[in-house]
Amino acid sequence: ARRRNAPSNNNNGIGYGHSYSSIPTQAAQHEYGTNDIDVLKKQSTPSRTFSSPLNSLPLEPSAEGIGSFFQSTAHLTEGPNQPYYRDNFNDQPHTCSFGTMEENGIWWNNSDQAGTIMACMVWILLAYSAFTFTALARSGGIPIFLACVYVILCVMALACHAKTTFTDPGSVPQAAVPNERMRREMGTPDSPLSMCSQCQTFKPPFSHHCRICNRCVSRMDHHCPWMNNCVGVGNMKHFILFLVYTWSCSVFSLLLLGWNYFMCSDEDCAFNVFLTQLVRLVTILSLGALLFTSSMIMNVTFGLMTGIGTIDRLKKKANDTIGDAVEEPIPLKDVFGIGAYWTFLFPIDPIFDNYDQVMGFSTPQRLLREETKGDPMKKMNSPSGVSKDMLYS
């Protein structure tokens, strides 16, 4: 629960962690009457406006205008049993610290030394292959343009690797509660609710507790030591992109080196002794990476098509219940988001159509915002059991 912050002289309504659900509605007109509405109009900053029941909020207001508006009308519109509440809840940590706990602002699994070493090895090997192709281009063994393409693929793979490593995979917070759909189906055999014995919190469906990260992860697929992180709903897109770009690097290098080996017939494209040793090592690395990423891509594709993650699939195979699976395929929009198609190719956090449904859980603050979004005059006894008084207590 959050305690309401009292209005202060330096509170201009614009700041980190502060947003206001203070859009007047027809219900507010009925509540306060014409005289109070005229007061709200006079105390707002005059500028270009949009059509609204009060026609009082500017479309392009200044910071001073917004601050004065909220300070002067807070006693009329905010608080318990009022049409608006001050939404100052921020579910993101403020501290600049590394870790996997809720208070850590930067997600980083620093408890697994072996995973840290393996994650660093990925960077070293990809950087080595990029250096080799740069040296081949400088010696004239391969075209410069093709070397540039390979280096770009390596950079994209490393960017996706870093994004996967430092992105919260979907950890379940202590305040997690069932989302709207789960509450409607609460108690049914198809939607059982469970608690994590380790975290002592709500455990969404298809989530698992990772003993390395020491957190429950929503829709957890597996813990990848090469990423030094879990792969879950929060970073699945970045993990898939890493596999695709690494697979592309392997195929591109094998094709390019194979073409040079079979098609080179003069000394201009021949490698010297030093470059030959570099190329041999890159060939071995490319073959290994191709086999590994191909198997992982097939594994992830199977998980998306069946809705069964790696951990769940192994459990079902061990219990011989893989044929009784009731999971549904995972839509691509629940992995890559609903943004523009060009964002699918870059390690950009996806924008989900229904965040709570994709994550598998919600929080009391998000539930209250959703329930009061259409009717801000809702006061007590909301369907979720959450009221505005709970946020102020």
Q: Would you say 14 and 66 are in contact if contact means Cβ atoms under 8 Å apart? A: yes
At 26, list the tokens. Answer: 């027809």
224 catalytic residue (yes or no): yes
Euclidean distance between CA atoms 168 and 33, whole angstroms: 48
Residue 214's identity, in one-letter code, is N
Task: Label residue 120 exposed, middle or buried (CB < 10 Å: 0-12, 13-18, 19+).
Answer: exposed
Main-chain phi, psi angles of 22, to 5 degrees: -125, 45
Runs of H (alpha helix) within 140-235: 144-165, 180-184
Token code pair at residue 166:
């430092």
CA 307 – CA 313 distance, rounded (Å): 10
> C-alpha distances in angstroms, 21 versus 74, 79, 84, 86?
12, 12, 6, 6
Long-range contacts of 258-263 (CB under 8 A, 24+ apart): 260/141, 260/142
Q: What are phi and psi of 334, to 5 degrees?
A: -85, 0
At CA 259, angle to CA 284 and CA 345, rounded to 5? 70
What is d(CA 290, CA 254) in angstroms, rounded to the nearest whole number? Answer: 9
Can you name the residues that pair with 18 across neighbouring β-strands? 15
Closest listed residue to residue 218, CA positions, set 364, 367, 356 = 356
Considering the candidates 224, 230, 249, 269, report the single residue annotated as catalytic. Answer: 224
Residues in the chain: 393
CA 299/CA 306 separation, integer angstroms: 11
Active site residues per annotation: 224
